[in-house]
Structure 1
């Protein structure tokens, strides 16, 4: 498989990239971002572009992929709705529309969040914007669209969030998260789980659109067909 990853420098993206590099059936990984990654690997190529809203200038480098794992996202904390919508909705849909034109047989996996508001009418700003993003992604002509809604993601193997508050939370709660995950393995997923679930989603051909909550992500990571 040939895989595109957006947001490979973030906590989730770091975990996803690690799993893709280790997968025997992944022959090529292209990460897309504004700044280069520091790591190197024979499978790994990087597409660095300052303005991700204008990737059409690089469209010849975005053809021929089997899957896109879209892990790019920001916290809504302290952000007004217009700014959050521009980053979360407009950027995601701009990229997805371009990829749908170039790769009709692509599986597109989007990292959303638990509590996303599909009605787009609720009180929570981030949940409304995520809901609108999910709803409009479903309309695109990809082979498959998976909308991942994790709750708590435990970072493994040194993966770190770019958000200081999240890093502080994970540093304090790491041992507790490990205990809770052992007791309730479908409540908390790890960065490994998310990466394996994305790969297994790309390997399956039986879904058109699937909303995957935390327990679904855990099952997908183990190879279950949903």
Structure 2
């Protein structure tokens, strides 16, 4: 898979005494989080950033944290998408949003029972290893429950940014959520802010 050069990472700001360890990296889901979800897209011309994506990624970089992408792309296994198409989309995303330190992509289908496809933790582990960060000092931002489940299984923080495609039960189950990407990132980057919670059952984030 396409793997851009790793950017230099400044030392993260310390967290509050007695609180969780300071973040060293933020990993973003691709479809529905960083860019609009176009099923099985291998065409860079169809890439459209999600609202606030550019500002959110820039904010993470500006605070000296590593940044990366963790993405299921089962279309490769199903013959609906090529690895070259995945790489072309990744390059276009970086043209629009700037460099992303690592792309951890699962090309398998559910039936393959791999250890990398979210909700399994493999993509998070792989991205953290490439970036040289501890999963415990990493946050994963995504739009569906499997993104948060992968984060939890890897020992990372998971933050849900719902879209119309997010199921109500996923919103209700999210321990941490935000209405949009810039808000999610601001909350993560503020070490003095108490952990933000997901919405009450049936409520909005």
**Shorter-chain TM-score: what band?**
0.3 to 0.5
TM-score when scaled to structure 2? 0.41
Which has more helix, going by share of residues? 1
Query: Which structure would you say has the larger Rg?
Result: 1
